[in-house]
Amino acid sequence: MNPNNINTEFTLPCGTVIKNRLVKAAMTERISNPNYEPTEGHELLYKQWAKTGAGILITGNVIFDKLHTESAGNVYFGDETMIPKLKKWADAGKTLGHHIWVQISHAGRQTNRFNNRHPLAPSHVKLKKTGLFGKPKVMTEDDIHQIIDGFVKAARITKKAGFTGLQIHSAHGYLLSQFLSPKTNTRKDQWGGSIENRSRLLLQIIRKVRKEVGDDFPISVKLNSSDFQKGGFSEDESLAVINMLNSESVDLLEISGGTYENVAFFMMNDEKTRESTKRREAYFMDFANKVRKLSQIPLMITGGFRSFDFCNEVLEKGELDFIGMGRPFITNQSQIPEFIEGRIPVLENMVIRTGFKSLDEAAEGGYYAIQIIRTSKGKGFKPKLNPLRCAAFLVSHEFRKSLSKKK
């Protein structure tokens, strides 16, 4: 009988032991109250996810700047008076002794108009997406240092609230990803130009966060393999950044890809995905093999994993250290404990389509957003939702939530 590599421990460079190799990747919850505080919904949601037995639960984006939300319903990690309420959320995720890590993010130019008509960004490069995003303001040197301080403060609050680790979000087109990309960072100062300069903000944040949380607290970085856009952040540049990360104190590197203008992490979930990708199963495994040749940072890939045998195989071969899953924690939540044990061979995939290609991306996002909100209210998974209603949900949700927020 082949060993069950998924259900084995792993010791991170900081010394923290993770009980198994399955990670619930970050998915935005969208359920904070009008004061940007966590709710009972967070506690219920994470108690449910804790029951899956996953070694790590990574939260959805949290913010430290209320003028730059990733989504309406983000929780604010910029005020230490919120720690008692944050502690209840952390405790819920640790119900069965597993880890709960906080994903810290800044949306930059991907802040929608309902929240900020002129968000801060590295350069004057507007996001071309359905008119929901305004032209950004170029960040000053002082703005950049405030961003660094914001990440550090959020890290401090994360640890004080009892969360067991953190992730710095530098993927999917958010602010740190914007700095890395030559398409969105056209600066001529020390923060732009060469890949070394474009990486400066990420590296400084990692160093200062490490100093704040200490040597034994897990720090993860989420990074794009590429932006999948002409003139954007490329695979070669991603590998160059990873090579720089080798000299930093990083405990887990998560690889993903895409931005709001090319949402690879949604649209690779397609029945028309080329056969070689289907056989390989996970979206970014080819890139992971390139990473392994130059870095020994513990590695996690998120996107596409569904079969026990394939997950077990890549762990056995040492191609990865952790398996990241997002949507299965919604659609297949009750099956995950048995999947970890090898008693369920495949977590069946769902594809949400409207019949209108231009709406499919929004339908995918809306479908899973609705399901998370339902779970946070104690309602069960509802497989059949109207795809067109799902496509409209995110915009209507952002608008309604933004009206209730206190700036």
- What does 325-347 look like in DSSP terms, one character per residue? ESTHHHHSGGGHHHHHTTSS-B-
d(CA 92, CA 259): 31
For residue 278, the tally of other CB atoms under 10 A from its CB is: 12
Q: If we measure between CA atoms, which residue out of 81, 105, 30 comes closest to residue 368?
A: 30
Average pLDDT over all residues of the chain: 91
Q: What does the pLDDT look like over 256-287, one tens digit per residue?
A: 876 655 555 444 444 454 444 444 567 788 89
Average confidence (pLDDT) over 89-101: 95
Provide φ and ψ at 116, rounded to 5°.
-160, 120
Residue 173 predicted with pLDDT over 60? yes
The pLDDT value given to residue 155? 98
Average confidence (pLDDT) over 88-94: 97
Q: If we measure between CA atoms, which residue out of 228, 231, 227, 255 comes closest to residue 242?
A: 255
The pLDDT value given to residue 303? 84
Residue 404 predicted with pLDDT over 80? no
List the domains of the chain with CATH numbers: 10-351 (3.20.20.70)
Residue 130 predicted with pLDDT over 80? no
The pLDDT value given to residue 279? 45
Average confidence (pLDDT) over 212-224: 97
pTM for this entry: 0.94
d(CA 222, CA 27): 13
d(CA 359, CA 369): 15
Pairing of strands 56-63, 120-121: unpaired
The pLDDT value given to residue 258? 65
d(CA 266, CA 283): 11
Q: If we measure between CA atoms, which residue out of 162, 225, 241, 213 comes closest to residue 14?
A: 213
Q: What does the pLDDT look like over 348-370, one tens digit per residue?
A: 988 899 988 889 988 999 999 99
The pLDDT value given to residue 403? 75
Query: Given pLDDT bands bounded at 50, 70 and 90, which one contains residue 228?
Result: confident
